[in-house]
Copies of this chain bind each other. A is one copy, B any other.
Amino acid sequence: MLIVMNHTASQADIDKVIEVVSGMGFTAAPIPGGERTAIGVLGNKGYVDDSTIRDLPGVQQAIHVSKPYKLVSRDFHPDNTIVDVAGVKIGEGERPVVVGGPCAVESEEQILKTARFVKQCGADLLRGGAFKPRTGPHTFQGLREEGLKLLAKARAATGLPIVTEVMSPDNVALVAEYADLLQVGARNMQNFDLLRELGRIRKPILLKRGMSATIEEFLAAAEYILAEGNDQVILCERGIRTFETATRNTLDLAMVPLVKELTHLPVMVDPSHATGKRSLVTPMSKAALVAGAHGVLVEVHPEPEKALSDGPQSLTFPGFEALMADLRRLQQCLACCDIAP
């Protein structure tokens, strides 16, 4: 940490800061400058809570150099983590995966039909929501356990591992019984009780970025899961909230190569939620893979115009088939031309 003093701070102010820093067990190294003094804080082995310092007299700013995460950091763990979802490997060096399926599980017919179709097109995993977070209470909230059972049937029918959301700590055991990959939704990225609970199970986790989460907060949220002992975590970009309303969210695709510099965990992209618009899903899926994503999550529905949620961003069956053909050709291209994403 670096503590920046005001232009007008007195020597007594500086001495007081040095004393407080020393009292915390660190070393304080004053750096007198032309206009003001700065004080380096040395000897800390991780993130220091700056509350004790920022409001001492004469302090202008406390600047963090350490990050609020360590286990997820590539700085301390250079090797890539490969996450294994019931045999499907996800991460650097592996073939990028496609997760397909409806926003919500609505009926046995709907989920089985979709599962068979996405399997036939070459998808690697099946997604489908049984517990649905919805903005208002007066809309469809998911089939809950019944939905989980239908997902299990779809897995039995197709062999596709299943991905589904868990919304609350007391449902973790239940969802883990059925799911191969447990998803934490954007709204729950900082539901810390949920994250800790997921850190204690032995199933992989798909952690979606919060709508207004910085990359630092996103990695710190993953740290909660790793801190409890579960390192099988996939990060998923799904768009952030900005002033732009022409798309549902703003897909922050540059985070993919950036996050890969910062962490060893795999990174996936959900272009359906990020854009909210069917016609943008295919171009953004391709862009995501070229940018280095380890996979994409795409919403597909047999009849999007009858979907109980997120219809406009769901691909139709022909749309998904075309997407898969496109992605297959793109991957072959990239492979044969030897273009590292």
- Interface residues as binary, A134-159 with B (CB distance below 8 Å gives 1, 0 otherwise): 11111111000000000000000000
A318 within 8 A of partner (CB):
no
Chain B residues whose C-beta falls within 8 Å of the C-beta of A187 in the assembled complex:
190-191
A320 within 8 A of partner (CB):
no
Inter-subunit contact B251/A252 (CB<8 Å): yes
- Interface residues as binary, A264-289 with B (CB distance below 8 Å gives 1, 0 otherwise): 00000001001101111001101110
If the complex has contacts A63-B63, A75-B6, A337-B333, are A47 and B139 also in contact, measured as CB distance less than 8 A?
yes
8 Å CB contact of A241 from B137, B194, B212: B212
A309 within 8 A of partner (CB):
yes
A169 within 8 A of partner (CB):
yes
Q: How many A residues touch B, CB cutoff 8 Å?
A: 124
A307 within 8 A of partner (CB):
yes
Chain B residues whose C-beta falls within 8 Å of the C-beta of A79 in the assembled complex:
none
Inter-subunit contact A133/B310 (CB<8 Å): no
The minimal Cβ–Cβ distance linking A263 to chain B, given in whole angstroms, is 12
Chain B residues whose C-beta falls within 8 Å of the C-beta of A280 in the assembled complex:
254, 257-258
C-alpha gap A287/B338 in the complex (Å): 16
Inter-subunit contact B33/A43 (CB<8 Å): yes
Interface window among A85-93, A110-118, A200-208, A213-221? A213-221
Chain B residues whose C-beta falls within 8 Å of the C-beta of A291 in the assembled complex:
283-284, 286-287
A42 within 8 A of partner (CB):
yes
A96 within 8 A of partner (CB):
no
C-alpha gap A73/B156 in the complex (Å): 46
- Interface residues as binary, A7-33 with B (CB distance below 8 Å gives 1, 0 otherwise): 110000000000010000000010111
A174 within 8 A of partner (CB):
no
C-alpha gap A284/B252 in the complex (Å): 11
A23 nearest in chain B by CB position: B306
Chain B residues whose C-beta falls within 8 Å of the C-beta of A191 in the assembled complex:
167-168, 187-188, 191
A242 within 8 A of partner (CB):
yes
A326 nearest in chain B by CB position: B339
C-alpha gap A140/B170 in the complex (Å): 23
If the complex has contacts A76-B7, A136-B223, A212-B243, are A286 and B277 also in contact, measured as CB distance less than 8 A?
no
Closest 8 A-B residue pairs measured CB to CB? Answer: A51-B311, A68-B136, A212-B212, A333-B333, A31-B40, A287-B287, A187-B190, A54-B312
Q: Can you spell out 5 A-B residue pairs with CB atoms less than 8 angstroms apart?
A: A240-B243, A244-B252, A246-B255, A286-B291, A333-B334
Taking Cβ atoms with an 8 Å cutoff, the residues of A that contact B are 2, 4, 6-8, 20, 29, 31-36, 38, 40, 42-47, 49-56, 61, 63, 65-66, 68-70, 75-76, 133-141, 167-171, 187-188, 190-194, 196, 211-212, 214-217, 220-221, 223-224, 227, 240-247, 250-258, 261, 271, 274-275, 277-280, 283-284, 286-288, 290-292, 304-312, 326, 329-330, 332-334, 336-339, 341
Q: A2-B65, A333-B336 are in contact. List 6 more A-B contacts (CB 8 A).
A: A137-B223, A168-B194, A170-B170, A212-B241, A257-B283, A330-B339
